[in-house]
Structure 1
Amino acid sequence: FSRDYRVVGTFFQGLILLVGVLGNLLVVMVVYRTRSMHSPTNCYLVSLAAADCVVLIASVPNEILSYYVIGSQWIWGPIGCAVFVFLQNLGINASSLSLTAFTVERYIAICHPMKAQSVCTVKRAKKIVGGVWAFAFCYSSPWLGLTVTEPIHYKGFQTVERCAMKLSRQEYLGYFFADIVVFYLVPLLLSCVLYGLIARVLFNGHFNKYPEVCRHDNQSSVDPTKSSRVQVVKMLVVVVVIFATLWLPYRGMLVYNSFATMYSKASFMDLWFLMFAKTCVYINSAINPILYTAMSIKFRRAFQRILLCGK
């Protein structure tokens, strides 16, 4: 890699790692310590924050390290290869499923307020989050056995190992396409449909036909105003739109290269575009706490209380 490439990648991705991990940990801490924020939606946001932390920690340090080693050198051995690839996929998949879960929760809470009395509870949200992580774990677990380290020799250097896939790229195409459909296209299509239905209810005057009730286990709470619901929905829509936008370059490159493999054509591997696509993914995992601060008064005040040590 050129010096400019290393400097740009290290600076921006290092900054994203720092901001993202601290921000997502702050989200978890704020929701845990602020009793008034123990709501179903925030359970899913905590799950999303945890998933984003996993993505950042499992991906960014190794990406930065790759700028300074020999070629594709891997220094963590075969176990590290399997574990890091597994954790990357676990975090990505849990993040996408958490996003889908809070979209469905908002749809039920706003469009089916009577049903929300029994469905929209913190206890149920915790069970769903557990199911999200269990499914993501099971779906990602094959990667623990699908990776291998293999020797690679660069002229003028000693032989080193690289982290690679056991099978050929063509044999993984089904898995790659399943990833794109299950964890990108389906969540986006579902979000478009459900947020469209939510918008129809909120802006066509049907919002107050029934009281919306989202319970904290055995206690009920009614949102004070329509505007507070609109604010939350706007924030979540922005999260979904940013998810779609920031994942598009990487997913698009993956689809193109998959078809290139199928038709025996050259893959697209421009190094600067690859850095850009990966950096977009890392930004997606780091930006949500900033969005919550900018768009939610409740989150902003809670962040301030935590940062000022309760003062």
Structure 2
Amino acid sequence: MVVIVVVKTKSMKTPTNCYLVSLSIADLLVLVAAVPNEIISYYVLGDQWIWGRLGCALFIFLQYLGINASSLSITSFTVERYIAICHPMKAQKVCTVHRAKRIIIGVWIFALIYCCPWLFLTKVEPIYYKGYCDIETCTFALSRKHYLGYFFADLLIFYVFPLLLSCLLYALIARILFTNNNITKNVGNSRLCHPSTVNSKKNSPANDNARVQVVKMLIVVVAVFATLWLPYRAWLVYNSFAEHRYMELWFLMFCKTMIFVNSAINPILYNALSVKFRRAFKQMFYNCCKKRSNNKINGQKRKHLTDHSSHNMKRNTNTLTTSAPKSCAKPETFQEEL
């Protein structure tokens, strides 16, 4: 939905929204690669893997690809907002839609290369119960200790570093906006003494409010990302060091559910926190409904015209039929006269 709104609405094609489209695609990839499989494997078949070796590799690869691309997209729009607000002169050259698209392509290429090892680090193995091979499951190809470096790289690159950077940059953004707000108030007070400055500064409060609204929305997105990913990341760190791993099924399912909620909630946040997104969503639905209504009306008109033309053709046919004997009557009369 977010992708459609940004693509179809010209005013929504901004650098920030390009990053939000990348984030939405990454979230959708996580949901498509993980949710149906989790439901079928754990709730329908009872931990039985049915997709084979290739499916095991692809599902794990796509999940991590979406997760990592999502984190990098969040980092990218945080940096973009920082440059746009704190360095407006530089932003005119740096913060463009064209550059945003190039950065997004780079983000996905990096995530793709980084996640490629998962295509070779998974396997399908049988689970034996009382000496019998009951079911198969998708698991790691090597011992868990061989994955510690990979897991910690994930933790640092795609969770700790993005959060620390986001906290730092949003603190700097808040300081700039607060300073600009004080300047705007002082300018507003000076207008009482110098009315001629009204026209030159009249758009400043509106621009500041729009910036504050966008920053608030992005801060909420980052905060939700950090909160919903925290249980899984904490569980992973604990099991990496603990002598006895914590493997309660309910907690593992809770962690996965939080990840899925994080992937599904962003469009709701955009609607709730952004007036511009909300307006674009409404306009898209209005245009869709209007198009359907017009198609229905046009269909009724075409049907009416078809029925009307059929009626006219039928009436013309009847007229020709009834007039035919009159044209044949004269020869008969002529023969009688002869």
Larger proportion of helix? 2
Structure 2 matches for 1:135-284, cutoff 5 A?
135-155=110-130, 159-205=134-180, 225-260=207-242, 265-284=243-262
Unaligned 5+ segments in structure 2 are 185-203, 291-338
Counterpart Cα distance in 2 of 1:308 and 1:258: 52
Counterpart Cα distance in 2 of 1:156 and 1:45: 51
The reply on whether 1:123 has 2:98 as its aligned counterpart is yes
Structure 2 vs 1, CA of residues 297 and 69 (structure 1 numbering), >3 Å: closer, same or farther? closer
Q: Which has the higher contact order (CA 8 A, sep 6+)?
A: 1
Structure 2 vs 1, CA of residues 61 and 157 (structure 1 numbering), >3 Å: closer, same or farther? farther
Q: Does the 8 A contact of 1:98 with 1:132 survive in 2?
A: yes
Counterpart Cα distance in 2 of 1:208 and 1:130: 39
Counterpart Cα distance in 1 of 2:284 and 2:132: 51
The reply on whether 1:103 has 2:71 as its aligned counterpart is no
The reply on whether 1:306 has 2:289 as its aligned counterpart is no
Aligned partner of 2:125: which letter? E
CA shift for structure 1 position 295:
0.7
Per-residue displacement from partner, 1:195-233 (whole Å, max 9, x unpaired)? 000000001227989xxxxxxxxxxxx995100000000
Q: Does the 8 A contact of 1:44 with 1:101 survive in 2?
A: yes
Q: Which has the larger radius of gyration?
A: 2
Counterpart Cα distance in 2 of 1:154 and 1:67: 17
Per-residue displacement from partner, 1:7-46 (whole Å, max 9, x unpaired)? xxxxxxxxxxxxxxxxxxx000000000001100000000
Counterpart Cα distance in 2 of 1:272 and 1:160: 21
27, 40, 44: which one aligns with 1:52:
27
Q: Does the 8 A contact of 1:201 with 1:207 survive in 2?
A: no
Unaligned 5+ segments in structure 1 are 1-25, 210-221
37, 42, 58: which one aligns with 1:67:
42
The reply on whether 1:286 has 2:264 as its aligned counterpart is yes
Structure 2 vs 1, CA of residues 128 and 208 (structure 1 numbering), >3 Å: closer, same or farther? farther
Counterpart Cα distance in 1 of 2:37 and 2:19: 28
Aligned residue pairs, count: 270
Q: Does the 8 A contact of 1:223 with 1:229 survive in 2?
A: no
| 1:268 counterpart SS class | coil
CA shift for structure 1 position 308:
2.8
Quick check: 185-194 or 70-79, which moved more?
70-79
2:68 maps to which residue?
93
Per-residue displacement from partner, 1:238-296 (whole Å, max 9, x unpaired)? 00000000000011001101112xxxx11111222212111111111011100110011
CA shift for structure 1 position 309:
3.1
Aligned partner of 2:50: which letter? I
Aligned partner of 2:16: which letter? T
Counterpart Cα distance in 1 of 2:273 and 2:237: 34
Counterpart Cα distance in 2 of 1:169 and 1:101: 32
Aligned partner of 1:73: which letter? Q
Report the aligned-residue RMSD.
1.9
Quick check: 275-284 or 135-144, which moved more?
275-284
Per-residue displacement from partner, 1:55-89 (whole Å, max 9, x unpaired)? 01111111111224555321000000000000000
Aligned partner of 2:29: which letter? V
Structure 2 vs 1, CA of residues 202 and 72 (structure 1 numbering), >3 Å: closer, same or farther? same
Aligned partner of 2:211: which letter? R
Q: Does the 8 A contact of 2:127 with 2:133 survive in 1?
A: no
* TM superposition score normalised by structure 1: 0.83
1:5 maps to which residue?
none
Aligned partner of 1:121: which letter? T
Counterpart Cα distance in 2 of 1:208 and 1:168: 60
Aligned partner of 2:219: which letter? V
CA shift for structure 1 position 159:
3.1
CA shift for structure 1 position 307:
2.2
Structure 2 vs 1, CA of residues 123 and 269 (structure 1 numbering), >3 Å: closer, same or farther? same
Counterpart Cα distance in 2 of 1:204 and 1:164: 53
Structure 2 vs 1, CA of residues 202 and 75 (structure 1 numbering), >3 Å: closer, same or farther? same
1:20 maps to which residue?
none
Counterpart Cα distance in 2 of 1:287 and 1:133: 21
